[in-house]
Amino acid sequence: MLRSEIIDDPAALAALAPRWRELWAHSRTATPFQSPAWLVPWWRAFAPGELATIAVWRGDDLVGLAPLYLEHATSGSRLLPVGISLSDYLDVLCLPGIEAAVAAVIADRVVAIDWSQWILPDLPAGAAGLTIAHPALEAVQLVDHAACPVLSIAGDDALAVCVPARRRRQLRRAHNAARRRGRVSIIPAQADLKAFFDHLIRLHRARWAGRGDGVLADPVAEEFHRQALPMLAEQGLVRCWLVAIDDAVVGAYYGFHYRHRAYAYLGGFDPDYAEESPGAILIGHAIAEAAREGAREFDFLRGQESYKYGWGAVDQWTMRKVWTRSMAQ
C-alpha cells in the first residue's frame, strides 16, 4: 500500500535527505541534479515560492519523490520543480519496478494542490515525469525543450577514438602554446573546494565580463553553489580541476560524474591566456579522466555552443511537459 504526503516545511525537506539519497541512488533515470545534495541547497538559497514536495511511501520506505513548489501570481499559481533554471535535468524519482504506481500516486496528490498550471521542463529521455497521467490533468504541451550535446566515449584512448581529428590537433596546439608560456599543471580541486570555487568565480566572471558576467554573477547562485559543492563532493559526484601556467591559475572546470556519464557543468578561464586555450585543455583532461573512470558519455549539458560540437558531441533533447486542469472534470 502506497501513501503520500506534502512536504511544505524546508526543515522537513532537509531531514528527508538520507532516505531521499537512497531513493535517488536506485532511480533509473536520476542524475546529480535530482540528488538532495543539489536540491536541498537550491531551496535554501532561492526558496522562490511555497514548498509543495510530494513524498510517496511504502511502509517506512521512501519510494517516490516529486520535489515541487508553488509560484503564486495574480494570473494564478504555477506548480514548478525545485531546482528549475540552474538544473540541466529535472524529473520525479521512483523506485524501479513500481514507477507506474508511484506516478499515479503523485498525480493523485498533485490534483489536490491548488494550481492553474503544472510545468515540468528539462525532462530527459525516459523520465518518469513523462509517464504521469490523470483524468483530472490535461497535458496541453509536450515539446522539445533544450539540446544537451553529448559525446559518446569508451576506453582509455577516448580522445584518439572519439574526438574529431581537428579538435585533437587544436588541443595539441593549446598544450604546446601553454608549455611555451611556462610550466603547465592540472590540479585536482577536491582537496580544497573553497579555494577552487574562489578561482572559478574569478575566472568565470573574467570569461563573461561585459556579457552579463555569467551565471555566477548572481550572489544567490554563488551562495547556492558554495553550499552544494561540498555536499556533492561528499557523495563522490564532483570532478573539478584547475589549470595553472607557472604560478598563475588560468582555468577552472566544474563537473560531475555519476554512473556511466560525466557532466561538464561550468567553467572559466583568464582571457589573457586565450591563445593557450585553458578551457580546451581542461575539457580534454575531463574527457580522458571520464573515460578512465568508465564513463560511456560526456554530457556538455544545455546549450548549443559551437565548441561542444567541435568535440564531436551530438544533440540529445530534453522535453517540457505542461498540464492544466481537465475541463471534463
Task: Rounding to the nearest 10 degrees, give the CA dihedral for residues 38, 44, 45, 47.
Answer: 110
Q: What is the pLDDT of residue 2?
A: 96
pLDDT-based confidence at 327, cuts 50/70/90? low
Q: Are residues 91 and 172 in the same domain?
A: no
State yes or no: pLDDT of 326 exceeds 90: no
**pLDDT tens figures, 273-283:** 999 999 999 99
| pLDDT tens profile 62-118 | 999 999 999 998 888 999 999 999 999 999 999 999 999 999 999 999 999 999 999
Distance, CA of 109 to CA of 68 (rounded, Å): 12
In a domain, 240, yes or no: yes
Q: Are residues 138 and 18 in the same domain?
A: yes
Cell 509560484 belongs to residue: 71
Residue 303 lies in a domain: no
d(CA 145, CA 114): 26
Query: Domain check: are 253 and 133 in the same one?
Result: no
Q: Which domain holds residue 164?
A: 154-295
> Which residue(s) pair with 254 in the sheet?
240, 266
How many domains, in total, are found in the chain? 2
Q: Determine, yes or no, domain membership for 113.
A: yes
- Here the CATH number for the domain that contains residue 243 is 3.40.630.30
Do residues 135 and 160 both lie within one domain? Answer: no
Residue 302 lies in a domain: no
- Partnered with residue 71 across adjacent β-strands are 78
Q: Residue 305: inside a domain, yes or no?
A: no
Is residue 18 domain-shared with residue 106, that is, in the same domain? Answer: yes
Residues 78 and 14 in one domain: yes
Indicate if the alpha-carbon torsion angle 235, 222, 47, 33 is positive or negative: negative
Each residue's pLDDT tens digit, 289-312:
999 999 999 999 999 999 999 999
Neighbour-count burial for 5-22, b at 16+ CB within 10 Å, e otherwise: ebbeeeeebeebbebbee
Question: Distance between CA 90 and CA 127 in Å, rounded?
Answer: 9
Whether residue 89 sits in one domain with residue 36: yes
Q: Does residue 304 lie within any of the structural domains?
A: no
- The answer to whether residue 63 sits within a structural domain is yes
**Whether 159 and 140 share a structural domain:** no
**Can you read off the three cell numbers belonging to residue 151?**
559525446
DSSP assignment string, 123-168 = EPTT-GGGG---TTEEEEEEEEEEEEEEEE--STTHHHHHS-HHHH
